[in-house]
Amino acid sequence: MEEASVSIRLNPFKGLEGPEGAPVPWSPYGRMLADRPVFTLDPLFHAGCYYVQDSSAMYVGHLFRKILDKKTVLRVLDLCAAPGGKTTDLAASLREACGDGFVLVANEVMKARVKILDDNVARWGDPNVVVTSVDPAAFAQLAGWFDIIVADVPCSGEGMFRKDPRAREEWSPAVVELCAQRQRRILADVWPALREGGWLLYSTCTYEPAENDDNLAWAAAELGGEILEPEAEFEEYGVRRTPHGHLLEAGVVPGEGQWAGALRKTAPQPAARKADLSVLHPLRQGLRKGELKGKDFVPDADYALSILFDRKDYNCVDVDRQTALHFLHRDALTLPQAAPGYNAVSYLGHPLGFVKNIGSRCNNLLPKDRRILMNV
């Protein structure tokens, strides 16, 4: 079986720096790499300059850009967001189209997966991304609040067989049926949160019509929507049209398996309720610069990673690759060029985090759970 390909997507708001590669046809910032570098040992990866994402998964971002309408404020929900590939793709597209005029809610119901989502959102650095961890039914409290809902739902995973042997072992017709029913429940639960005229972008990483075309047709008929007619795009690269969407099949396209389609909601607007995002108890919301502890204002580690980081706030110490890796290993550093107190550490001009210069050494303020575990 052919080996899985390797691809990345560059962050347009952090200078488009990262590994070189061939363009991904449907992603303006996607790159196909000739081989897999050790991403863990690349400081630019930790700085959020790029995200490692399968090229087929980037097709969801392409469809998103097709349905994206610029409004004064655009509200988008990425319903099943971990580990964060689609979230960061949506965030870049929204900021390019709307500037600061958007809110993107990235939700992951699985508590074990929400931490990696939050870390990846922090690295990407867009403060307009809100991270939540609630059941899809909880979004009914925000009736008609979202303009676009992206639902990359849990599925039977046929498109991951090449990459994940466990997916092959766990597959069965019964699993397909179970997934199809679960997907319908998820769509029905979140449907009230989508405004009339808003878009549902629905995707899976399986090839099963029951989980793909059939479920989108079910949503259109039962929930009230009009399916976006699939177009003949990128057929020369292996993208195939299905009755209601687009199929990317591993072995035909360089990446893994993906299916995606979209529909516009035609059902009447649900009665609006006086509610805001606080009802979802966000784990991340807005720009956090730091907090006052005693007489010290201690910078938040994520502020250094933010695209809104202001270099006038802290002395910035640009270091070489090896020193950057020692910082990411959470080692104590000696930085002669550091000013007394708090300093930002950067690599090739891209901030990685903070240290506190106490004279003889600099205390490393990188969060413990983000440290590199490999030997540097």
Find the CATH number of the domain harbouring 219.
Answer: 3.40.50.150
Peptide bond into 165 cis (omega under 30): no
Positions annotated as catalytic residues are: 205
Q: Dump pLDDT digits (tens) for 249-263.
A: 999 999 999 999 999
The whole-number pLDDT of residue 26 equals 97
Are 273 and 315 found together in one domain?
no
Least Cα distance to 360 among 324, 336, 326 occurs for: 336
User: Would you say residue 224 lies in a domain?
Assistant: yes
- Residue-averaged pLDDT of the chain: 93
User: Would you say residue 33 lies in a domain?
Assistant: no
User: Would you say residue 42 lies in a domain?
Assistant: no
Are 235 and 299 found together in one domain?
no
Please report, rounded to a whole number, the percentage of residues in the chain having pLDDT higher than 90. Answer: 84
Domain boundary among 236, 257, 277: 277
Are 272 and 301 found together in one domain?
no
> Would the pLDDT of 185 be above 60?
yes
CA distance 13 to 312: 18
The whole-number pLDDT of residue 270 equals 67
The whole-number pLDDT of residue 97 equals 93
User: Would you say residue 11 lies in a domain?
Assistant: no
> Would the pLDDT of 81 be above 70?
yes
Average pLDDT over residues 220-244: 96
Least Cα distance to 25 among 260, 235, 229, 250 occurs for: 235
User: Would you say residue 25 lies in a domain?
Assistant: no
Residue 279, phi then psi, degrees to nearest 5 = -65, -15
Are 271 and 336 found together in one domain?
no
> Would the pLDDT of 207 be above 70?
yes
The whole-number pLDDT of residue 172 equals 74
Average pLDDT over residues 289-306: 93
Going by pLDDT thresholds of 50, 70 and 90, the confidence category of residue 274 is: low
Q: Dump pLDDT digits (tens) for 156-170.
A: 877 666 777 776 777
Domain boundary among 277, 312, 329: 277
Are 136 and 213 found together in one domain?
yes
Are 197 and 222 found together in one domain?
yes
The whole-number pLDDT of residue 249 equals 95
Top mean pLDDT of 7-11, 16-20, 98-102, 172-176 is at 7-11
Which range among 39-48, 138-147, 300-309 shows the weakest confidence by mean pLDDT? 138-147
Least Cα distance to 333 among 325, 237, 22 occurs for: 325
First to last CA, the chain: 33
59 Cβ contact list (under 8 Å, min separation 6):
26, 27, 239, 246, 248, 258, 260
Which range among 100-114, 148-162, 210-224 shows the weakest confidence by mean pLDDT? 148-162
208 Cβ contact list (under 8 Å, min separation 6):
155, 156, 158, 176, 179, 180
Both structure tokens of 80: 């099943």
Are 265 and 307 found together in one domain?
no
Q: Is the Cβ–Cβ distance between 253 and 56 less than 8 Å?
A: yes
Domain count, the chain: 2
Going by pLDDT thresholds of 50, 70 and 90, the confidence category of residue 124 is: very high
Question: Whole domain around residue 153: which residue ranges?
Answer: 54-277
Which range among 65-74, 116-125, 359-368 shows the weakest confidence by mean pLDDT? 65-74
> Would the pLDDT of 70 be above 90?
no
Q: Is the Cβ–Cβ distance between 149 and 77 less than 8 Å?
A: yes
Please provide the size of the chain in residues.
376
Are 255 and 219 found together in one domain?
yes
User: Would you say residue 239 lies in a domain?
Assistant: yes
Q: Could you tell me the CATH number of the domain that includes residue 322?
A: 3.10.450.720
Q: Dump pLDDT digits (tens) for 20-30.
A: 999 999 999 99
Going by pLDDT thresholds of 50, 70 and 90, the confidence category of residue 359 is: confident
Are 157 and 302 found together in one domain?
no
The whole-number pLDDT of residue 20 equals 95
Going by pLDDT thresholds of 50, 70 and 90, the confidence category of residue 282 is: very high
The whole-number pLDDT of residue 218 equals 98
Are 217 and 319 found together in one domain?
no
User: Would you say residue 105 lies in a domain?
Assistant: yes
Are 270 and 126 found together in one domain?
yes
Domain boundary among 277, 304, 329: 277
Q: Which residues of 191-209 are buried (b: 16+ CB within 10 A; e: fewer)?
A: bbbbbeebbbbbbbbbbbb
Helices (H), 229-337: 301-305, 321-328
CA distance 170 to 156: 8
pTM of the model: 0.94
Please report, rounded to a whole number, the percentage of residues in the chain having pLDDT higher than 70. Answer: 94
Are 248 and 159 found together in one domain?
yes
